Each structure stands twice: as C-alpha cells, then as structure tokens.
Amino acid sequence: MTRLKYSLLLPLIAILINCTATGLGDASLEQRRQNVLTMRQEVLAELYGLKPDTRVQIDSAAGYAVFTNANVNLILASFGGGLGVVRDNETGVETFMRMGEVGIGLGAGIKDFRAVFVFHDRAALERFLDVGISIGGQADAAAKAGDLGAAVGGEAIVDNVTVYQMTQSGLALQATIKGTRYWRDPQLNAGS
C-alpha cells in the first residue's frame, strides 16, 4: 500500500514541476524572462487592487520578490514548486529564482497561489538571495476556480520581511509544516 502511494507521488511531482514552468517550455531565454516579469506585474496589480497601501510599502523597501507557486497536498504530504523574481530597489537588479517546498501534515487538494515578499532592509534582502530557506507552518482553506469561489489570503511579517499570499485557483484544505527553499535560477540569470 505504501509503495503504491509513493509510486503515485512521482508522476504528480513531475506534473507539478511542469505546471510551475507554464509558458516556459519552448520559449527563448528572453521570452521566459519576460513571462516571469509579466507575471510579476499582474500579481502586483492584483495586490495593489486588494491592498492599495502596499504600493508605497514596496516602493520604499530595500527590495521585493514575487513568486507563482503550485502546491499539491496528498493526505500527509505536501509538495510545491514555482518561480519568481527578486528586485533590488536600490540597484534595480532583477534576480530570477525558483522555489520548491515539501511539507508534512493533513491536507488534500491542489492550490495555485502567488506570493509577494517585501524586504524592509538590505540585510533581509541579501539573506533571502544568499540563503533562501524558509520553514514555517500553514493552515488554510482555499476554494477558487477562475472568477468563482473564495480565496483565503494572508499577510505575515517575519524578520523584516512582509509576505502577502493570494490564491489564484484550486481547491485545498491543509494544515502543514513546510520547508521551502528558494534559489537562483541559473538559466534565467545567465547573461543578464
């Protein structure tokens, strides 16, 4: 029985990784970068619409990051992956990044969400770019499909970083402890 569960996980993880690279498959390197930057603008526009005061907060911060993430919860395990970009507001440098997460806890469903990280000081920004690891708990419910349904989003402030999360689509009920790793995307940062 356990062997069957794990054999089902591998294809789901492969699908999840492919979902996080939407629009990146056969596109040129420049088009892939542009897809991430377009995603960032769309997510920021949505955030500004929901919480207008975040525009000033982001503009006055040391930097910010925007990520898109797909997450699958299967009974006692949670897996996710995504991509995004970090902008250093002082230098204007854009760093393309990837993310992956693994968690344990009760959950079922699939969730597609966006996250915006606001780095309130240079140390927090540099720590994220250099280390990029986050461990935390999460409990939420999301039910959304296109313009229908509801999304439970959140705001958290930890170690001079404010994180906003917005659910895009999916259906999930989860209570998990997750480890998330963020790292520089070597392909998207090549030659930039």
Q: How many angstroms separate the CA atoms of 175 and 73, rounded?
A: 10
Let me know: does 169 contact 113? Beta carbons within 8 Å.
no
Quick: pLDDT tens for 4-57: 444 444 444 444 444 444 444 557 899 999 999 999 999 999 999 989 999 999
Separation CA 24–CA 150 (nearest Å): 28
- Residue spans of the chain under pLDDT 70: 1-26, 71, 73-75, 105-111, 133-157, 168-178, 192
Domain ranges of the chain: 2-20+30-189
Question: What is this structure's pTM?
Answer: 0.73
Which pLDDT score is estimated for 73? Answer: 67
- Alpha helices per DSSP H over 105-150: 122-130
The predicted structure's pLDDT at residue 156: 64
DSSP 8-state secondary structure symbol assigned to residue 89: T
